[in-house]
Structure 1
């Protein structure tokens, strides 16, 4: 039985197999990560990953879908979306993407994969155990539909802890923070070289908690604060004291909802709103984005500017594809101003985890950080402030969870 560990992330995906140790498989060229994106073009097989993004950017006619994981735990999972002349359920879209990942891994390793340990967030849905169960059930059914005969799950922060544990020399109490594209997950785990060899680790896991906030939420809030006003958000209607309806802007700022806008009914509504708007030129920009199906270009530009502003202190968000010369300036202070509340809400989960484990902050030896959003300085600062005595360890941003899942897959298959 060939087993693998699969980290299907909101932004990126990895898959690992045991080859003399846990090894992540090259899924796209030399890359072991592949963006969680799929592009449907008429008359062609779907493209996934970077190739999907490239086809969209190059203007190939078709439909791009990103942040696929975020529909798990929402009503969208059972809804359909137009793809060319047909409508596909979102669960079928996820299945096509993961089938492509699985096929690439099998081609790379030369082995058929029939057993998988899937990573999952601590909570797909906040404060909704039934929604959580349904989301895991949906992911299990999808995995089985693409050929996995044995499907099990492991919390993503626990998987990251297993990766971190490979390199430690003594016993530690670690808080694992996995801040990804869609969720922020935490575990407090007792680790040591001796414990690493044990098959049963339940007693070493002192706490698990999480919240459905991740990098795409930072993108959404930043977009609503800096870009969507340029397209009419918050602008007045000509009559009365009403503002332009904001639902279009929220969908356009949310990765998983962008495709909802691409239909004749919405275009007619936007045109009617533009005619009655106090600033019709702004609504004209919104109209241009939706008519040209450039919502993902907009979201990608925001994501890129977020990363640049966090790394260098300032970024210019070029929007020439909307209107010649249009741009927005974002600096680190603005990034913190718009998204600081999200960072605080993430850090609050550290306190909840400590209470669940029954330990104080001073008992934590190491804070292990993984996931792309730990690269945001104000997120990292909010987390480290909760554990001022802990040693901060930066893991493999995109690979720690996948490596840990691979370790777990090998153990369960033994």
Structure 2
């Protein structure tokens, strides 16, 4: 039995050994695999999945996905004819293959953030199911290789809400995708646990007395808050419903901070603050859609033929057509992920330094942009205010002030974000957990509790 954090930014797995969670090594990825996938063609993903799962799941998958496997076979033959590697890549190697030639292949980062999207067509839902299953199969292979036995029982982490709008339907859709994907790859007993509750379970192991804890989990795709009653006497109880005092969650996380920093720190170099020859300000809708990598519909609109024609006309109408040429390059070469990745790397560097330089040489030779923490704070204002509301909502549901605030999630590593959280609670103690491992460890604790 394992706890599986299928995260927006990273995937991680832990199992209980000698009463303590042990993070497992996922092959070449180490303990954390970046949540990204690259395929030379999106059509070959079902074929890779069929090849890389075991019986009887292989036969079941073939029976339900025969048409898509046949379609993928044609794509595989084209790849072989052109001498293009047909394998899928995951984690950092997926990003490397994408950056090697952004205009070719299919790359997706953080598919979890898209699973609850409203308005997805049935074939789109099946497509995401295959992406998730491929990533799960890759992780499961490494887990079973390390443990030297099959793993069939899993607790998977989930946010409070996958999306802000139509949250009930969104959550149902996302959970169904995750459940179906897990079944495809051979998990038989599948349970879910809220990610902030799981993080709370890990913090609870250090408590000596009953404590009201506000868990603030700022992940890659969502921020989730839970008010929990925790302590030694509550540990190992399978029914914790009376101790779960309040929950709140919203799709605002690391991806959103990256996107906002891209808009503030990168997009001025593509003309977002420019003017048209008429003197009117530059229309900004295409700039927002260009970096909205967590919005399927926005990305579809940005890369549509109609938007390509619109951008060409916008370049002709611009006071600085050479600058608009960079936006057209982003369109033609499918650079959305590269633009946001530039902002993400800058955000990470701002954790250790007050300022740094973003290399934008892939747009124009020798182009770069300086960014600092003040710019990041300005870009993040709306996201930080949303997080403050979530914290207040969870506390209000709990009906009492927390004794301690436990902060986790990779995005919370940022001093800008951390200082903001501390400023909201005055003299309340703020404990910072393992930014990347608390949820995974807590999921493994819960797996032992409910499956033993």
> TM-score w.r.t. structure 2 length?
0.83
CA RMSD of aligned residues (A): 2.3
d(CA) in 1 for partners of 2:433 and 2:208?
Answer: 16
Matched residue, 2:353: 312
Matched residue, 1:405: 443
- Describe how 1:42-191 pairs up with structure 2 within 5 A: 42=79, 43-59=85-101, 61-75=104-118, 78=121, 89-126=127-164, 128-191=167-230
1:288 Cα deviation after fit: 1.8
* Residue 311 (structure 2) pairs with residue 270 (structure 1): yes
Matched residue, 2:43: none
d(CA) in 2 for partners of 1:380 and 1:286?
Answer: 34
d(CA) in 2 for partners of 1:45 and 1:259?
Answer: 25
Q: Which of 367, 371, 381 is residue 340 of structure 1 equivalent to?
A: 381
Change (3 A) 1:252 1:306: same
- Describe how 1:216-255 pairs up with structure 2 within 5 A: 216-239=255-278, 241=280, 243-244=282-283, 246-255=284-293
* Residue 30 (structure 2) pairs with residue 31 (structure 1): yes
1:242 Cα deviation after fit: 6.2
- The question of whether the paired residues in 1 share the 8 Å contact of 2:3 and 2:447 is answered with yes
Change (3 A) 1:265 1:105: farther
d(CA) in 2 for partners of 1:228 and 1:79?
Answer: 34
1:402 Cα deviation after fit: 0.7
- The question of whether the paired residues in 2 share the 8 Å contact of 1:65 and 1:259 is answered with no
d(CA) in 2 for partners of 1:255 and 1:214?
Answer: 13
122-131 or 146-155: bigger deviation: 122-131
1:240 Cα deviation after fit: 7.2
Change (3 A) 1:263 1:335: same
d(CA) in 2 for partners of 1:98 and 1:78?
Answer: 23
Change (3 A) 1:78 1:160: farther
Deviations 1:73-125 (A, max 9, x none): 103754768xxxxx982332222222211222122222222222111101112
Q: Which of 315, 322, 328 is residue 281 of structure 1 equivalent to?
A: 322
1:130 Cα deviation after fit: 2.4
Deviations 1:291-310 (A, max 9, x none): 23333222111111122234
Count of paired positions: 403
Q: Secondary structure at the residue paired with 2:30? A: coil
* Residue 414 (structure 2) pairs with residue 376 (structure 1): yes
1:256 Cα deviation after fit: 3.0
- Describe how 1:291-306 pairs up with structure 2 within 5 A: 291-306=332-347
d(CA) in 2 for partners of 1:403 and 1:99?
Answer: 21
Change (3 A) 1:77 1:28: farther
Tell me, which stretches of 5 or more residues in structure 2 are unaligned? 41-78, 80-84
Matched residue, 1:84: none
Change (3 A) 1:67 1:76: farther
1:134 Cα deviation after fit: 2.2
- The question of whether the paired residues in 2 share the 8 Å contact of 1:78 and 1:90 is answered with no
d(CA) in 2 for partners of 1:236 and 1:311?
Answer: 36
1:278 Cα deviation after fit: 2.9
1:406 Cα deviation after fit: 0.8
Q: Secondary structure at the residue paired with 1:57? A: helix
- The question of whether the paired residues in 1 share the 8 Å contact of 2:350 and 2:414 is answered with no
1:335 Cα deviation after fit: 1.1
Q: Secondary structure at the residue paired with 1:355? A: helix
Q: Secondary structure at the residue paired with 1:208? A: strand
d(CA) in 2 for partners of 1:302 and 1:51?
Answer: 19
Q: Secondary structure at the residue paired with 1:125? A: coil
Change (3 A) 1:13 1:406: same
Change (3 A) 1:116 1:187: same
Q: Secondary structure at the residue paired with 2:171? A: helix
Change (3 A) 1:200 1:80: closer
d(CA) in 2 for partners of 1:168 and 1:94?
Answer: 36
Deviations 1:255-283 (A, max 9, x none): 33586455655444433332333321112
- The question of whether the paired residues in 2 share the 8 Å contact of 1:28 and 1:49 is answered with no
d(CA) in 2 for partners of 1:333 and 1:6?
Answer: 36
